[in-house]
Structure 1
């Protein structure tokens, strides 16, 4: 950089003069910077609209209780005449049920406990077992790794955390037939699943490991038995539940079981025999359509749709204030925060005004709702939303908002929830035969795709979408212009420096002449 002389000879404020000149030179750069900021705001506005559309899509198919899920329309309200004995809930019941349940006996879990003294010695060992679970035909293999630093409590915790399938605990239990009472520490295993047929045995695939496992468990006080002597002897064997459903008796390995999409939980025996007399207090279980839940899912979807189109319509209708351009850093320094906030609110307004992508998407959504679903294969009851109490607002200012007649919708849900599901989700090869929700999803996907082509998403780099490529071009122009400004500023300084040198030389010559005349 050349030497800069700042007004020593002329007395002029060269720094200020150059600064003012550069302000004028920077005006095109400021406009480029403003254009860049506007594009970034516009990009972000488009992406915000895509977030709204994605939320609507999730409300259609992803979220729990979405109108695109068949399970939403299969929901049942299940009642039991005696919940102290039997409770029930719908899992995936296709039709309503009415059942009579008799609980003859409850399922119980197998238990194992130690006898005698516990002679625990900490050691590095891997206990290896094979386990048969209630109702299983095959064994599964599992192991418990212990170390020489483990206390007995550590061992119990490791067994509980292993795949052995039991809850282990150490209790101080009274020794039977002792008077005065004698208590001793006892380890009890309780199987985590109720039912008969449970077995815990050593893994016999490795003889040395099998022997080590048996010896360790024996040192804790457990007994071994079974046909090969390699199974833990149960203190109490688990039992299956004996249940009668509509007079048909069956065995269940768990007190919770599912029949025809209804999950029953037996809690108490309903049949008792006293003095040879058997009495039965059967429990009646019935299900009906859960109208409230289905109605709520549809209402939530409609509310979300109305919210999304409301926000998008507001955005594309915003007023554009072209006199309010993005502020530069220098301008912000002269303003307070509130003024900056208000200014930028207007500067950001209307950046999607006259956009064609979003209005086109909204128009297609309205068509998705209006057109009947003419799918004779799947549609058995309803072909239009109006038939189930959902219509479009007659107020044109609301731009296609949906209105729900809850009384009519409730009636139609009670009448045929499966037909409503098909109205939303029928499979078809054409637009006319495709369900409303699936049509809507296609429109949403297409709109999101078009917006991403213009404004990208957080995973795309600038050269992959239109606004991004424009931003890259503007950034290149800014870089080139900043280089040019450096050259212009250097030129101004060279010119003023040359002027200062000329004035200084002139002053020197004048001073010399004055000295000569004064002699």
Structure 2
């Protein structure tokens, strides 16, 4: 805190501030450079997030066989006995199912009931009334080897049944009818191997004496008699559910390609691919306004919020104009999409599927030029269409394997490799994450831009120290002037007093 200007009557602080303006210009310029680098990192991260999402989420999902090679099951014949749905790896063709016997679960059921019972009374109260009986020293019940404990003062029959049903090891469903006092305990799994073994006095009064063993389902699949432990099972990629005994009337399951779903998957892929291209091309071709630099704190004080927002939108524009990393990514993506894929010794390309890259104004976007042609290709050979997009190369050489023109690699895998290369490039240049879609993820300090920021910070720190020395020197000079003027004034006063 300085007090100056008493002798001269000058505003020393204002004068020093004006003198320092020119001295601070290099520091302001460094601060602006730092802001530009930070903006570049943020813009790289925005693109990085979209690329990671496209590669790790969208491409991965589209590459699943139940998406790009979707199947459907048509059920005919005895539709009441069997229901079915295609799952991953479903094989085109048909099979017949005839149900002789449904699978059932082992169970224990009450013989004569105890009569009405209040399931909301505590077990100790029920014991006192003679509705249940157990040794208070052992407040537990064991089902299928799993011990389930209870508290006679806080637990009721209702809460005990809930504990039984929620015990995963016991693997049973218990039901108590409060009107008749009858109980049943049934295994959650079906088949001959299912069991229900109960020990413990607390349920003794419910007379769990009616025992029923579990049984396997008996079916005939394509004329072959076989058994299954459950009424739900999978065969040849078809999830089959047995609902009733066939009674001699077989059910036919016919697995065919789901053209509509495959077409929908391809359309969704194209939309996401084009959206990514739009984002990257938008940054590559964004106009740069060199006259608009980041605002200094002093410049901001004289502007409104709207003026600041408009200015910064211009200052942020074009920071990734013609960026080499992004340009290479776009080039590789376009090359991947126009290069043939070799499937069973034959070349297949997008054009043969009715898809093109559009004219030059679309900047490489994919366009379904002939949807009928694409639909016909899917219906004629769905496996070929699936392989064009999702086929994986057997190439072992890492460079050839990742090439955008690898003829054995499907389009999805080519694009995945392209984007991984772009993510590597952005990581090295801007320090962005190759896996995260977090908009607040930290940047790696070892990147090129990270190194630039460290260099700028060092220069700013050194320059700030130098400016502090210059400012202090100005004040010293003005203080010396004030001191000299004080002496002069003192001498003048002395001489004037002597002359009087």
TM-score category by the smaller chain?
Answer: 0.7 to 0.9
Which of 332, 335, 351 in structure 2 is aligned with 1:364? 332
Give the C-alpha shift of residue 381 in structure 1.
5.4
Asked if the contact 1:166/1:189 (under 8 Å) is kept, the reply is yes
Q: Does 2:257 match 1:289?
A: yes
Per the alignment, do residues 462 and 92 of structure 1 end up closer, same or farther by CA in structure 2, a change over 3 Å counting?
closer
Aligned to 2:173: 167
Q: In the TM superposition, what is the alpha-carbon distance from 1:222 to its structure 2 partner?
A: 5.1
Partner of 1:258: 234
SS, match of residue 469 in structure 1: helix
Q: Please name the residue that 1:433 is paired with.
A: 408
Q: Please show how residues 407-418 of structure 1 align to structure 2 within 5 Å.
A: 407-418=372-383
Return the TM-score normalized by structure 1: 0.82
SS of the equivalent of 1:12 reads coil
Q: Is the 8 A contact 1:73 1:421 kept in 2?
A: yes
Alignment of 1:144 with 2:145, yes or no, is: no
- Measure the CA separation in 2 of the matches of 1:194 and 1:108: 5
8 Å CA contact retained: 1:194, 1:238: yes
Whether the aligned pair in 1 keeps the contact of 2:71 and 2:90 (CA below 8 Å) is no
State the alpha-carbon separation in 2 of the partners of residues 495 and 123 from structure 1.
Answer: 95
> Paired residue for 1:69, among 64, 67, 72?
64
Separation of aligned partners in 2, 1:123 and 1:292: 66
What pairs with 1:231-310 in structure 2 (closer than 5 Å)? 234-271=210-247, 280-310=248-278
Residue 380 of structure 1 and its aligned partner are, at CA, apart by: 5.3
Deviating more after overlay: 242-251 vs 259-268: 242-251
Distance 1:328 1:260 in 2: 68
Kindly indicate whether the alpha-carbon contact (under 8 Å) linking 1:383 and 1:423 is maintained by their aligned counterparts in 2.
Answer: yes
The corresponding residue for 1:8 is 6
**1:119 alignment counterpart:** 133
Supply the distance in 1 between the matched residues of 2:38 and 2:65 (Cα, whole angstroms). 42
What SS does the aligned partner of 1:504 have? Answer: helix
Q: Deviations over 1:342-369 (max 9, x none)?
A: 1111110000113111111211221122
| 8 Å Cα contact 2:185-2:196 kept in structure 1 | no
Structure 2 CA distance, aligned partners of 1:419 and 1:60?
21
Report what 2:128 is aligned to: none
Match of 2:461 in 1: 479
> Matched residues in 1 for 2:408 and 2:203: separation?
70
Q: TM-score, normalised by structure 2?
A: 0.85
Q: Shift of the alpha carbon at 1:120?
A: 4.7
Q: Secondary structure at the match of 2:196?
A: strand
Q: Which residue of structure 2 lines up, in the alignment, with residue 443 of structure 1?
A: 418
Asked whether the equivalents of residues 302 and 402 of structure 1 are also in contact (C-alpha less than 8 Å), the reply is yes
> What are the Cα deviations for residues 216-244 of structure 1, in whole angstroms up to 9, with x where unaligned?
35645455xxxxxxxxx554333333333
Q: Secondary structure at the match of 2:255?
A: strand
User: Offset at 1:502?
Assistant: 1.3
- Which residue of 1 is the match for residue 105 of structure 2? 109
Show structure 1 runs of 5+ residues with no match.
Answer: 131-140, 175-184, 203-213, 224-232, 272-279
Q: 1:79 to 1:118 in 2, by over 3 A?
A: farther
Counterparts of 1:314-463 in structure 2, within 5 Å, are: 314-374=282-342, 378-379=343-344, 382-393=347-358, 395-404=359-368, 405-424=370-389, 425-429=391-395, 430=400, 431-457=406-432, 462-463=444-445
Aligned length: 461
CA drift of 1:386 comes to 1.6
CA RMSD across the alignment: 2.5
Gaps of at least 5 residues in structure 2 are 115-130, 401-405, 434-440
The residue that corresponds to 1:38 in the other structure is: 36
Deviation at residue 7 of structure 1 after TM alignment? 1.0
CA deviations on 1:451-505 (whole Å, 9 max, x unpaired) are: 1101012577654110000100101111111112221111111111111121122
